[in-house]
Amino acid sequence: MTKPRASVTIRDVARRAGVSVATVSRYINKTGPVSKAVGERLDAVMEELHYVPHAAARKLATHKTFTIGLLLSDIGGDFFAPLLRGIEDVLASHGYDLLIASTRKPRRWHGKSLPVGPHNTDGILGFADSLDEDHLRRLMAQHFPLVLIHRTPPPDLPIPCVTIENKAAAHAMTSHLIEQHRRRRIVFLQGPPGEEDSHWREIGYRRALADHGIPFDPGLVMRGDFDRDVAFATIEAALRQGIAFDAVFAGDDESAEGVLAALHVHGIAVPEEIAVVGFDDQRMSPYLTPPLTTVRAPTEMVGRHAAQRLIELIRDGTTELMTLLPTQLVIRRSCGCPDRGGDDS
């Protein structure tokens, strides 16, 4: 076994193959003509030496990193797996690496410097409220490729974003509860303060109430934080306080799970006494008791589109500003509809 040199470089390959480094580089990057014979020699030598180009050196010379950064406000939640999956898949298929960074307690980054940026990536994907407006403006001023996920940019900043149709779906869901199931006192469970998805879902909910002549009762809008525990506690409290309601539109499926549990503990029948619906259609949702009626959010697709937008932005310098992915109602048992005998996924 030969003494394991720190690493084998392009020069080692060139020397061993009896050519210049330029030729090796050209061959590797297909950036110029190389005779077939030499090409084969190189393949053999590279294989023999286990040569792998040093990424940093290449990046330095090229000024392209072929890696993109993903900024998260917090890893956790069943939400991230499909999103990540979508992102990683399309990035990989285009030869890009994925650098991940997440905040802890505070939902956003504070100081001046972001963990990813022009110094180590070709572009960044910003999830929800992980970036504050200052960052957005600075990045734009530097003309650094950036696309937002589940968040729209400030009106004056032309930053591409990909998110989902929340309002229409929330409107449809609320209307379903009102029209099909005669519910009139529908609780709405909000997401974290300032969360954009939650905001639009609430708008849709309110609009549906108005469209059906049902007066809006602020007392029926409660905290859910997109969190099982918080939703559980909120519903328990509402029950104890004797607040009257005949349905709950949970901000997302995770909080719907908390709602279901709280009602179950109190011996309240779902959907007979109180109907419950969610938003997201996570993998667990068909398996809840009763199976959850919800809105399907194409989370993996959001990831795929976001990655695609960013790659276009990097390559072409431009891409669509707004990608709004459609959502659709998924009717199961928890709203009061009869069992349809199978799942529709």
Which position among 3, 46, 61, 116 is part of the footprint of DNA (CB under 7 A)? 61
The one segment of 70-78, 156-164, 217-225, 241-249 that binds its own copies by CB under 8 A: 70-78
63 near its own copies (CB under 8 A): yes
Give the x-and-dash track for 112-141 against its own copies (CB under 8 A): xx-x-xxxx-----------------x--x
* Cβ count near 8 (within 10 Å): 18
Please state whether beta strands 221-223 and 186-190 pair in parallel, antiparallel, or not at all (unpaired): parallel
Residue type for position 234:
T
Tokens 């954009």 belong to which residue?
196
Give, as ranges, the residues between 18 and 37 that touch DNA (CB under 7 A): 18-26, 28-29, 31-35, 37
Residue type for position 25:
S
Instruction: Give yes or no for a contact between 254 and 227, defined as CB atoms under 8 angstroms apart.
Output: yes
44 near DNA (CB under 7 A): no
In angstroms, the CA 114 to CA 136 distance is: 11
Three-state SS string over 166-187 comes to: CHHHHHHHHHHHHHCCCCCCEE
38 near DNA (CB under 7 A): yes
37 near its own copies (CB under 8 A): no
In angstroms, the CA 92 to CA 98 distance is: 8
Instruction: Give yes or no for a contact between 169 and 327, defined as CB atoms under 8 angstroms apart.
Output: yes
Residue type for position 213:
G
CB 110 to DNA: min, Å: 23
Comparison of 8 and 274: residue with beta carbon closer to DNA: 8
Q: Which does 11 bind (CB under 5 to 8 A by kind): DNA, its own copies, none?
A: DNA
What is the binding site for its own copies (CB under 8 A)?
1, 4, 6-7, 47, 50, 52-57, 59-60, 63, 65, 67, 75-78, 80-82, 84-85, 88-89, 92, 97-102, 104, 112-113, 115, 117-120, 138, 141-143, 228, 232, 254, 257-258, 260-261, 264, 283-284, 286-289
